[in-house]
A and B are shown apart, each in its own frame.
Chain A
Amino acid sequence: MPASSRIHADHLPGLYQRAAERFESLPAFATRQKNGLWNPVSFRELYERGRLIGQGLIALGVQAQESVGVFSDNRVEWALADVGIQSCAAVNTPRGVDLTDEELVHIVTHSGMKRAFVETPRMARRVLDLQDRLPHLTQLIQLDATKPALEGVKSMEELESLGLRRLEKGSDELEARISAIQPEDLFTLIYTSGTTGTPKGVMLTHANIMSQVEHVPIQLSCTDRVLSILPIWHILERMLEVYTISHGTCTYYTSARFLGDDLKQVEPTFMGSAPRLWESLRHRILKTVQRKHPVRRGLFHLALFLATHYREAVFVLRGQDLRVNRIPPVWLGICKLRAALQWAVLLPWYGFFNAAVLETVRQSAGGSLKATISGGGALPPEIDRFFNAIGIQVLEGYGLTETSPVVAVRTPERLVRGTVGPMIPNTDLRIVELESGRILFPNADLPHAGRGLKGEVQIRGPQVMKGYRKDEEATASVLDKDGWFRTGDLGMMTFNETLKLLGRSKATIVLRNGENVEPEPIEMRLKLSPLIAECVVVGQDAKHIGALILPDLEACREAGLTASSLPELIQRPDLRDRILSEIHDAMNAPADFKRYEVVQDIRFLEQPLEVGTELTNLFKLKRHVIQDRYAGFIHEMKGEG
């Protein structure tokens, strides 16, 4: 029955225009003000002001498909600047203000950027201080209207009046540019936050983003409220904002500091976020419960227990339980029968406790959340289970900046925990064996067409990027001529048609907070210590980096840690502290490692790594093998906290 309010377009400027025509005075974005009220920007205002900014950019000399920088964190002016950049067919090249000077210089010079928006006078000062290294960057525009702009930096107001003058002269260049936009034209150039090596510029097209708007299965309408906390230059947030605009939904900007309050004020119906947010939300809920009257605390845990088991039964009945192996029909029947019994017994109790206890828990997240989407890292299973039990659906999705970003996402109907859901429409998946390059799924010659087999996830679809800017070698290494994109992630197809991820085939470790860590430089540094013979840095999806260490028996003996054999050495109680202090010394040089790159936890290997199983013939680490073998330790690190 709910009326659909969505609109369709071929490119972003067209979308903004239709949104203005259809949604007019409805709010598109809102930000919190000091007096407790919020400041809305309507779809009409977004469009009109955005066009003026576009005119202003043309007046400044911005060409079609030219990179325009936006160095800012979330704010409404970001969205206005984006509409402006899109309206003159230029390419939004965004980054948050936390980037390093080196990254800034690289992004500006590599993209050939001549004009850039900066958030604050402080950011403008940073860029101006680097002017010697940025000879082509000629004009800065400041987004924050509350502070006076530095000399030579334009304010948004100035830019808009520049545009207005152009408009009054009757220039039709803006219209001409918009109608000339091709689906393969770029709308953004995103430099990925690589830690070592230079960041690569991911080129995404209008066709890429519009395909996401068409195919991502999220139910939204004019009556929904989306609370935004991810950085806006993150592709997931970016896509969600375009998505909300196409549905007439208002995005409310919040921040970690105000999140608790804003959840209650805005009562969001939808949120997108990284796993970290769900973790802290769960922590907050449990902390509130801890402070409650013992009777109420007990009731909460009873409710959680009932809900967990009730949902478990529902999962089995709906075929939404994780199936990595084929289950014989008879056994499946027995499982379903058992689940039906469990369901029937728990239903009345669950019904009562859900209404009386869990509803108040949901209130702490505003009380109106229909669903939430989690991306940008794996969601820890206990967090997943917790939110499902209390009745907030967490739709975990999978994607990369290179895939704009959504490749697969759970839907309320296909909410299979432990997976990232089914592929979105129009997206092809194949699973390829790493060593041989053989296609494992879909492969009719293998049992069950290759379901349940592990390999690299490769994607083909309208969301796959055009390539890396000015880097054909890197582009060719991930994108083949048939359009298949190598994600570098390991995964498998489950028996109920959902994608399960199993780690990364590339070495890069992504921590739970989204930071990328390249393990090799750390390992090289650690191996400089004589006490460390071998080491493997791990930490995918964990809170911090950990290492598997093989101590050097001889060197340890010389250092006073005498032992006759390796197992005996590992048993020594003083070894751990000694090695940790070695690591601390080795990684102490502040310029070389970031704080999150420092190894926090270690385990000892009881035998050297073996060539053939854990090492390749060239003594390179087979990280996925090691990851499997020491899954226990990695799991322990994830659970810490």
Chain B
Amino acid sequence: MIDPELQLLYPIDKALLAVMILVIMFGMGASLTPNDFKGVLKRPRLILIGFVSQFGFMPLIALGLSLALNLPPAASIAMILVGCLPGGSTSNLFAYFARGHVALSISMTTASTVMALVMTPILIHLYSQPFTQKIAEELGADTAFVMPTKDILVSLIVVLVPVCGGLILRRVSKGWAKVAEDTAGFMGMIVIVYLIITTIGRHWRLVLSTPWQIYVASIALGLMGFLFGYHVSRLLGAHPIQQRAISLETGIQNAPVAFSIILLSFPEFALQNDMLWTAILYALFIVVSSSCITLWLRKHGQFDWEVYRNTLIHTRLFGSDWQTRYPKGFLPSRIEKDPSQGALKGDVQRQDG
């Protein structure tokens, strides 16, 4: 247990964090178009696969890791909290570079953000059951710890307000929406780097004293999310470029939302520091691991992507009746009959990052 008196985040950090969350969520709203919402309705099957990975597997992975590694209760709850969150908008950028289906990634982020209002509080409540008693024991309290489910819902709503603000801005002015979107990207990067450097710089002792299980859990949560998303979506019939998007979407959670829930819903909680620390570690490692996964997916999927892209551009340039037939033996059997190498006509528009 981390000393509750320890100032893990200084007031200035908290202020910065608040601004960052505001800007990021605002930027996320500003980047969404009505088409993105329509996109959700256009591909219900894929969204369902995404939903299953996001709200089905991720919380289970979090719970499984917490139990298997016998994590301290506060860290366990933080893990479950992170596991139950919607996808972050950074997953869209990673999906682009991993040569994944960007439109699908955006649709999944949109859908999961909306659905989080219902799913996140319920799931947290459900999966944190095994740990509430332990927390009470650790704190020496008489009564069992009660999950502040209502507060979590309220914090979620608070976080979603700037998203709506961004949506409105997008309707009013496209130019400013674009600026808001860009600013959000860089703001997020800079503040995350700042937080990582300052907190780790100030609390290097904490870095050393944190048990290895917490490190393993915070790294494995993302990685197992990628792995499950990738293979389960394949089993459910997704094509390679969709697989890549679903994989990244599953593993990358909206960490800023985690910070705001912890800060807003557990204000007087003695274990707030423990929770925050686990969330910070997740945010740190997910940047590194998703970069690595993206590079791997990009390299691995290079050939498939080139075939797919070429076929797509042929249809765009030569008309929708055009059929691209590669010479015999050129396509490996893996993708020869795969409809993602051409049958997705009109599904993927030009990807603009």
Contact = CB atoms under 8 A, between A and B. Distances in A.
Interface of A: 1-3, 5, 22-27, 30, 37-40, 221-225, 248, 252, 265-267, 269, 293, 295-296, 299, 351-352, 355-356, 359-360, 363, 368
Contacts of B324: 26
B182 interface: yes
Contact of A26 (B316, B319, B325, B352): B325
Contact of B327 (A24, A30, A224, A225): A24
A25 B323 CA distance: 9
B331 A3 contact: yes
A368 to B, nearest CB: 7
A23 B182 contact: no
Interface string B313-347: 11011110011111101111000000000000000
Contacts of A295: 179, 182-183, 186
A40 B326 contact: no
Contacts, number: 86
B351 to A, nearest CB: 8
B330 A359 contact: no
Contacts of A359: 96-97, 353
B93 A356 contact: yes
Contacts of B306: 2, 221, 223-224, 269
Interface string B289-328: 0010000000000110011011001101111001111110
B318 A225 contact: no
A293 B306 CA distance: 33
B327 A26 contact: yes
Residue among B96, B303, B330 with max Cβ neighbours from chain A (10 Å)? B330
B189 interface: yes
16 contacts: A1-B303, A2-B302, A3-B329, A3-B330, A3-B331, A5-B327, A25-B325, A27-B318, A38-B317, A39-B318, A40-B322, A223-B303, A265-B317, A295-B183, A356-B185, A359-B353
Given A223-B309, A293-B179, 6 more contacts: A5-B327, A37-B319, A38-B318, A222-B330, A224-B310, A352-B189
B291 to A, nearest CB: 7
Contacts of A30: 317-318
Interface in B169-195: 179, 182-183, 185-186, 189
A318 to B, nearest CB: 18
B313 A225 contact: yes
Contacts of B179: 293, 295
A293 B178 CA distance: 10
A293 B177 CA distance: 12
A22 B327 contact: yes
A267 B313 contact: yes
Contact of A223 (B93, B96, B307, B319): B307
B319 A356 contact: no
Residue among B97, B291, B324, B326 with max Cβ neighbours from chain A (10 Å)? B326
A359 B313 CA distance: 19
Contacts of A267: 309, 313
A33 B93 CA distance: 35
Contacts of B322: 40
Contact of A3 (B182, B183, B309, B332): B332
B314 A27 contact: yes
Q: How large is the interface on B (under 10, 10 to 19, 20 to 34, 35 or more residues)?
A: 20 to 34
B318 A248 contact: no
A24 B179 CA distance: 48
B307 to A, nearest CB: 5
A356 B186 contact: yes
A296 B310 contact: no
Contacts of A252: 317
A325 B335 CA distance: 50
B327 A248 contact: yes
Residue among A5, A26, A265 with max Cβ neighbours from chain B (10 Å)? A26
Nearest to B317: A38
Contact of A363 (B327, B331, B353): B353
Contacts of A293: 179, 182
What are the 8 tightest A-B residue pairs by CB atom distance, in nearest-first order?
A38-B317, A223-B306, A223-B310, A2-B303, A3-B330, A22-B327, A223-B307, A40-B318
B201 to A, nearest CB: 16
A356 B185 CA distance: 8
Nearest to A293: B179
Contacts of B319: 37
Residue among B93, B179, B306, B323 with max Cβ neighbours from chain A (10 Å)? B306
B51 to A, nearest CB: 27
B313 A355 contact: no
Given A2-B303, A351-B291, A37 B317 contact: yes
A196 to B, nearest CB: 44
A30 B313 CA distance: 12
Nearest to B313: A267
A23 B330 CA distance: 10
B99 to A, nearest CB: 11
A175 B76 CA distance: 79
A264 to B, nearest CB: 8
Contacts of A352: 189
Contacts of B326: 5, 26, 222-223
Nearest to A249: B310
A296 B179 CA distance: 9
Contacts of B182: 293, 295-296
B303 A363 contact: no
B317 A266 contact: yes
Nearest to A32: B317
Interface string B96-131: 110000000000000000000000000000000000
A23 B93 contact: no
A117 B319 CA distance: 31
A450 to B, nearest CB: 41
A224 B311 CA distance: 10
A610 B310 CA distance: 62
B185 A363 contact: no
Contacts of B331: 3
Contacts of B189: 352, 356
Nearest to A360: B353
B97 to A, nearest CB: 6
B17 to A, nearest CB: 20
Contacts of A266: 313, 317
B309 A368 contact: yes
A266 B326 CA distance: 18
A22 B329 CA distance: 10
Interface string B65-94: 000000000000000000000000000010
A266 B323 CA distance: 17
Given A3-B330, A27-B314, A299 B186 contact: yes
Contacts of B327: 5, 22-24, 26, 222, 248
Nearest to B327: A22
